[in-house]
Amino acid sequence: MPEQAQPMSEAAVRERLGSYPAWQLGDDGQLYAEFVFKNFSRAILFLNAIAHLAESLDHHPDLHLHDYKHLTVRVMTHSAGGITERDFALIGQIEALPRPE
């Protein structure tokens, strides 16, 4: 398995999360973040930006839009059975996306 696809230890994941304060390690072993927007259309704009990014990286997070303006993003490398460098690369790019005002 390539190094990038090797699952990271929980301690390593928690250490890396220090660079991403909006993200947490869930009880299910996935990284997740909650985003709240001003309205539905802005939430959809951000969701679509993540979808295009994920498609270009061929690494697809779970996206859950709820309560019309709340977006939960969950990330895990399922094929590796845990969190890998691919997940941190994806959340780094998600964090770099502009947030619709």
pLDDT at position 13: 98
Fold of the domain spanning 3-96: Gyrase A; domain 2 (3.30.1360)
The β-bridge relationship of strands 62-66 and 31-36 is unpaired
The amino acid occupying position 82 is: G
* Tens of pLDDT, residues 2-59: 555 799 999 999 999 999 999 999 999 999 999 999 999 999 999 999 999 999 999 9
What's the pTM? 0.92
- Domain boundaries in the chain? 3-96
User: Angle at Cα 83 formed by Cα 82 and Cα 88, nearest 5°?
Assistant: 160
How far are the Cα atoms of 39, 54, 101 from residue 75, in angstroms, in the given order? 24, 11, 24
